[in-house]
Structures are given as structure tokens and as C-alpha cells.
Copies of this chain bind each other. A is one copy, B any other.
């Protein structure tokens, strides 16, 4: 047997042989059922006493790695599979206040033939070859001090690239130090919640709105107050005066679609300043705009440092990059850096520098222009299809993003509609699934995940299901 035993290593010779055998078993060089040499012959090969080898064998037998068969020899035992986990469910329960149950995620299910799921960009548009090259270039041995622990705000190069991108693209005035790189929107919201929310604080959220934000704030003990939305976005007058934080999606209300009107933006900022409220602006898919000019962000309009701006590359690029950012007033900077250290330390530097180059060298802009063309085409097909085929739905006007919402003109059980649609291969989302108490009935159509050519057939199939579509193909022989 070829067994590399390092007899000069620290520890006794029995241990050295024990380790070498264990390594051989773990690495698979010795497989289950393999017969070991007799201890006497291995001892001779290694020039050690027979007892030294026998003791190592005995230890491995005692631990279950080897099996001694009487009158035969010593064999590798059946240990290739992981040890069975304990059967009992465990005695630890979550704390009484923990009520959130995990939600299904989009990657866990096979995409349906007609895929109008919300919040999924088209990964086939993403330039993987470029990205792979950029990442590989940064994964060099000496780069980025990979043995030490990096800055919680993210690599300065990426912070700088994001600051310039936001400044030019969104009018968000930020210096690199104002930017904190996160693992996407959710982590940005988490850090903000950590440093702003005391248990019992009132947090106002849009209704319908983004469930993961709502649940996050609740998990920190916030009293989450749903606030209605209308065609101008969040109804600012309905925000409770004693709110500590308002969470809003001004460029494309999630999920209904309208932008927060300029009057509402000004009212919200005035309200925030008067009542000392924090405003969290989630600008999640604003890169995809279908009108000539976006409205100014709340951050750009804010004159008092009450807005925390949050953005993500999950829609503008792909979620697999796990990358987003926040821009916070300086009065929160240290708290947020500390929160990131406590949450998970910091993000991977090589990937951050690769992303910085992607943004700064114009590849993000190129990708966005290309993606915008594809999404604009699908959006037109969705709007056209709804207008032509689904008269029971009225589209909520919007001008940005990767989905449109439509309301049933006569309210129906939208969840039942969505469930039936899914049974027929059409994934579309019920508007009510995003609501807390808002009496909404409608469907949300995402167009990031679908193929362009599947849009119209999918809507036709949905229309047939709902009894309003084009007649099915007439049987043969009839004209």
C-alpha cells in the first residue's frame, strides 16, 4: 500500500500513521471495503514496530473507520456517507416574537411556459463572458489582501463607481464615502432597520407593498402601519405623525407601478422634516424608464438629510451578483458601518472590484441600453395584449420597471385567478398577495423573465382561461 506517512511530524508515530490512514480514507484513496495490509507488513514497510501500526488500526476500528473481521483482516468500514443526523427535531424554539416563515423563492421552481413572475430580470441579456473575465482578473493571488478583513462599506473603487453612476444617472449627490455596498436591497434595508428601529417604533409602509421590507421591519419589533397608495403613489396624508420611518418606492410604486408625484414627494419630505421621520427610498428598478425624463429622486430633493437612498444591481444586472447599495446621511454613517460589521463583516473584494470596473468602464450603461430595448418591446406587448384581450383588467399607468399591474374593473378573487393560471402554465401574480389591508384585486405582469415571443401567446391563453380571449382555433373542416 502506498501510504505517505510523515514520521517526522509532530506527535508520536502511532498518531502519524493514524492520520495518514484517516486521510487516505477521507480522500477516497482507501475506499469502503478495501482491505488493509496486515499490521506486520505495513510496519515493515514503514520501519516501525508492529505495535505502532496495530495501535493506529485499533483506534480507527474503535472510531468506526475500520472494521476488524476475525480470522480475516482489517477493512475500511462503511463511512463514505455522512454520519446520520440525529432523528430528534431538536429542543430549541425560535423566540416568541419570531413569526416570519420563509417564502418560496423564484429559483426553486421550474419556470412555467408563460412566465410573468415579478422582479426577475432576463439573465440571458447579461454579458457573462465579460463578467467572468473581470472576476478572474481580480482573483489573483496578491490582490485585495484576501487574508485580512476588509472595510464594511465595500471596496473604495466600487463605492466611487456607484457614486458617479448615481450622480449622473439618478441625480443622487453622493461621494464615495456616502455609499455603502450591500448584498442587495434586502441587506441595505436590514442595516437601516438595525440602526433606526427600536422595538415599538412605528414604521409606515406602502399597501400594497414589498413583503420582505414589511416583514423585516416587523422582525425588529416595529409596529408596521400599512398606508394606502393611489395613482400618485404613497398617500402621504395617511402616514401616521408618530412614524419613525417611512418606506417608499417613489420611481415605480411596488407593485402597483405609478411614480410618486412631485407634489407628494415634496409633501413627504416636508412631513419627514416636520416630524423627524426617516424616509427610505427604494429605487429598485428605476433604470428601466419608458418615458423621456424620470422625476427627481427624493434623495435629490431632500434638503435636510432625512432620506436614505437604496438601490440594487439585482434588476439592472442580475440577482446572482448579490450587490446593492445605500446612500445615507453622514449622521448615520458610523452606525451603518458598525451594523454591517455585526451583520456579516463585509463583501467579497475581488467581485466588488470587478463590478466597479463593469460600472465605471461603461459596460453597465451598454447593458442597460440593450436591456431597455428588450424590456420596452415586451412591455408594449403586455400593454397591448391586456388592452386587446383582457377587457376586465385596467392597467395602472406607470413609466418604469420590469412589471405592470392591472386592476380588475369588477373585483374578483385575484389569488384564485393566479392559481388557476399557474395550473395552465401561466405564472402571473395576484395584486392582493402584496396587500396587508388594501382592498385590491388585480394581476401583476412581470416581463423580465419571459421570452419576448411568449408574451402574446401567454396573454391569449390567460384570456381564454378567463373567457375573454380570442376563440380557440376552429375545428378542421369549418371555415
Contact = CB atoms under 8 A, between A and B. Distances in A.
Interface in A130-188: 131-132, 135-136, 139-141, 144-152, 163-164, 166-169, 171, 173-175, 178, 182-184, 186-187
Chain A residues touching B, majority SS: loop
A430 to B, nearest CB: 19
Given A139-B131, A345-B183, A306 B92 contact: yes
Nearest to A377: B10
Nearest to A79: B168
A221 B195 contact: no
Contact of A140 (B128, B164, B293, B306): B128
Interface stretch (A70-78, A100-108, A247-255, A389-397): A100-108
A167 B108 contact: no
B93 A331 contact: yes
B167 A82 contact: yes
A348 B322 contact: yes
A376 interface: yes
A351 B354 CA distance: 14
Q: How large is the interface on A (under 10, 10 to 19, 20 to 34, 35 or more residues)?
A: 35 or more
Contacts of A131: 139
A32 interface: no
B341 A102 contact: yes
Interface in A80-106: 82-86, 88-98, 100-103, 105-106
Contact of A278 (B15, B92, B273, B320): B92
A347 B187 CA distance: 12
A300 B170 CA distance: 54
A146 B318 contact: yes
A346 interface: yes
Interface stretch (A211-219, A405-413, A433-441): A211-219
Interface in A400-421: none
Contacts of A44: none
A256 to B, nearest CB: 21
A325 to B, nearest CB: 13
Given A149-B319, A330-B90, A335 B135 contact: no
B85 A174 contact: yes
A101 B10 CA distance: 43
B292 A90 contact: no
Interface string A307-350: 01000000000111110000011111011011111111111111
Can you list the 4 inter-chain pairs with the closest CB atoms, starting with the nearest?
A90-B329, A90-B305, A123-B147, A146-B320
30 contacts: A11-B292, A12-B292, A18-B292, A26-B168, A26-B169, A82-B167, A82-B168, A83-B171, A85-B175, A85-B178, A88-B304, A90-B306, A90-B328, A91-B306, A91-B331, A92-B331, A95-B196, A102-B341, A103-B338, A105-B150, A107-B148, A111-B148, A120-B148, A123-B146, A146-B319, A147-B320, A183-B344, A320-B349, A321-B348, A322-B344
Interface of A: 9-12, 14-15, 18-19, 23, 26-28, 79, 82-86, 88-98, 100-103, 105-108, 111, 119-124, 126, 128-129, 131-132, 135-136, 139-141, 144-152, 163-164, 166-169, 171, 173-175, 178, 182-184, 186-187, 190, 194-199, 201, 212, 215-216, 219, 221, 273, 276, 278, 290-293, 302-306, 308, 318-322, 328-332, 334-335, 337-351, 362, 365, 369, 373, 376, 380, 448-449
Given A11-B290, A86-B173, 5 more contacts: A91-B329, A95-B201, A108-B151, A144-B320, A212-B341
